[in-house]
Amino acid sequence: MTKEQDNYSAFEGLNLSNARSEGETYEQYRGRLRQNKEILKTYFQLGRDAFKDIFPNGVHEALQDSAEEAYNENEKANAKQLGEAK
């Protein structure tokens, strides 16, 4: 009987380095460190299996989707404000 191999990578595409990246501002660097700290804290509290259930495609994709949603909501709000200002 062969054991099924799980290739789940929760942090794929996420920069977990403590070093400041080239072209990254200090504010972006500090924000990334805070974000990484919260992500790792949640990972260690919940465990790998629960984290996999919450983020089946990894944290990076969830963060990307969240950023896109926020951007789209902001665009709608701006369009609405501009429509009312006319």
CB neighbours (10 Å) of residue 60? 17
Every domain of the chain and the residues it spans: 26-85
Please give the pLDDT value at position 72: 92
State pLDDT tens for residues 29-50. Answer: 999 999 999 999 999 999 999 9
Within 13 Å of residue 76, how many CA atoms lie on the same side as its CB? 6
The identity of residue 68, as a single letter, is: E
**Full-model pTM:** 0.73
- Mean pLDDT, the chain, as a whole number? 89
Please give the pLDDT value at position 17: 92
